Amino acid sequence: MTDSLLGLDEPVQPTRGGDAYRVLARKYRPQTFQALIGQEAMVRTLENAIRRDRIAHAFLLTGVRGVGKTSTARLIAKALNCIGPDGNGGPSIDPCGVCEPCRAIAEGRHIDVIEMDAASHTGIDDIREIIEASRYAAVSARYKVYIIDEVHMLSKAAFNGLLKTLEEPPGHVKFLFATTEVNKVPVTVLSRCQRFDLRRIPAERLAAHFAAVCEAEGVTAEPEALALIARAAEGSARDGLSILDQAIAHADLEGGGVKAPAVREMLGLSDRSAVRDLLALLLGGDAPGALAALRRQYDYGVDSQGVLRALLEAVHGVTLVKVGTAEDPAQPAEERDAYREWAEKLSFPLLHRLWQLLLKGHDEVARAALPIETAEMALLRVVHARSLPDPGELARHLSEGRSDQPPVAAAPSEMPSTRAAASAQSALPQAAVPVAPVQPASDPSQEPETFAALVALLENHGQHLLAVRLAHGARVVSYAPPEIVFSGARPIAADTLAETVAALRGITGAVWKLSLLDAPGEPTLKEAADAAAEADRQAVLATPLVEAALAAFPDAELIDWPKKRNNA
């Protein structure tokens, strides 16, 4: 594949004693919109605007570093000022690249295309020069174009001075702003510009682009090496080309090309197979093995925070596979297979808990005075946390009043590993499977015949507080074991109903159904007992002997009397 097919600058190889070497990030800067990878939406908008002659007077290009903001600004300047090979063309989304305006803009020497770095020209005086010069027509181009890079660095006075000219510029002036921090640009400027958010370039697109660059440079490179570089670039073409340049220089001079192990060593990345082995040891509960694996990575020069970050990426990858997202084509096959197998055996609660533990450890290592020791403690916390019961299952046991222990992770099973030696030792726990407790058979003789008997049954089985709450607050509308309807006019707390269901299920073995109904219901057991006691008292006071005693002694009080009823 030639450089012209890539739509990039023609690479000029320096000779000995000739021109200095141009780095790949400069040599392969896009020279056409077709070569601007990953920004199809913006290119389509610009193409339609140019064809319909609806070209805005100001453009704001924002995005992370290295996605093509300045290159896009230059391309727009070329598209607006291109005159075609014959000198009679108009604005075009496909600038010819051979006319004098196109070549002058590409070389940065066009007198009507002015580039300014706002990081070093921040004051009102610099903007005043632009305002004064914008009044004059272009010298040789169709439009006078001002490209201001890192525009967010302008001072408040400079922004204010630019507002009027930016809102109503002369017809021959176009402004192109580029920034990585659009939130620092005043809204008064944003409202006067047509904004384009340049996206991060996907890793697979970057890897394909790097492969084309390597072919043009006559360099062999492994696909895995290019995938590592694409991931390290984090969506930035310039960062990726800089890393690729370094990888080519790092490669073996004997024609070995760019190899994945060399790139991994150059970037200081933890071996991904070693990360998978470490994750398998953690899930298998092998604390000594996990600490030894961490120390090996540390001895190789990988910082402890990087190991935890790699573990977080692995857990995230397994979770994405379990959710069912599309596979990453840049991912190694053995890693894809390992993630798929883990996703089948690990539950979502276990993955989420693992993520939280590793994330906490990562934050602790970031601010720790002893990073490697803190990382070891974080891994030990992960190892020992695997034996704890699932919080959701534990809460379910408590709400149902079950005394059996909630299930924990099952015994580990053999897990995937990329190394034969580690494969025999790597282990993974099976996903925790809730096991329903064995309930005793329902015995009708244990079902109380009355609500009072039910409360007494709870009291006899140690549920004193629950029995008191029911006796003092429950008004029964209907009682037909195992169904009870209580009055909603005096509502019972939901937790009381849930505790009652769980307690009765544990005592009687039956599944009870308690509900509320908007009806008055019977008096509570406490109210009934108080009413019965008062009736007994009035009966005693009405006896002739007590009446005679009270008549003889007017200040006497009835303190106690023989109870005729059992109000228990």
The alpha carbon of 174 is separated from its chain's Cα centroid by a whole number of angstroms, namely: 40
535 lies in some domain: no
Closest CA to 204 of 184, 187, 224: 224
Residue 507: domain span: 444-522
Distance CA 321, CA 344 (A): 9
Q: What is the per-residue pLDDT across 457-471, written as a single tens digit (0 to 9) for each?
A: 888 888 888 888 888
Do 44 and 193 belong together in one domain? Answer: yes
Do 129 and 246 belong together in one domain? Answer: no
Stated length of the chain:
568
Closest CA to 70 of 143, 148, 174, 134: 148
Do 220 and 154 belong together in one domain? Answer: no
Closest CA to 362 of 298, 312, 314, 294: 312
Task: Tell which of 156, 181, 197 closes a domain.
Answer: 197
Do 341 and 479 belong together in one domain? Answer: no
**Residue 480 buriedness (CB in 10 A; 0-12 / 13-18 / 19+):** exposed
Task: Tell which of 176, 197, 218 closes a domain.
Answer: 197
| Residue 249: per-residue pLDDT | 86
Q: Tokens 């690990």 belong to which residue? A: 346
Q: What is the per-residue pLDDT across 253-284, written as a single tens digit (0 to 9) for each?
A: 556 688 887 887 777 665 677 888 899 889 88
Q: Which residues of the chain have pLDDT under 70?
A: 1-19, 252-256, 268-271, 328-332, 386-446, 489-491, 494, 561-568
Task: Tell which of 522, 538, 560 closes a domain.
Answer: 522
Do 411 and 296 belong together in one domain? Answer: yes
Q: Return the SS3 of 53.
A: coil
Q: In this prediction, what percent of the chain has a pLDDT beyond 90? A: 19
Using alpha carbons only, give the angle 272, 276, 282 rounded to the nearest 5 degrees: 140
Distance CA 278, CA 354 (A): 13
Do 70 and 152 belong together in one domain? Answer: yes
149 lies in some domain: yes
Helix or strand (DSSP H, E) at 11? none
pTM of structure: 0.56
| Residue 561: per-residue pLDDT | 66
Do 48 and 141 belong together in one domain? Answer: yes
258 lies in some domain: yes
| Residue 268: per-residue pLDDT | 63
Do 191 and 207 belong together in one domain? Answer: no
43 lies in some domain: yes
Do 262 and 281 belong together in one domain? Answer: no
Do 156 and 92 belong together in one domain? Answer: yes
| Residue 411: per-residue pLDDT | 38
- Sequence-separated contacts (24+) of 364-367 with Cβ below 8 Å: 365/304, 365/305, 365/308, 366/305
Do 398 and 492 belong together in one domain? Answer: no
| Residue 34: per-residue pLDDT | 84
Q: Give the count of domains, the chain.
A: 4
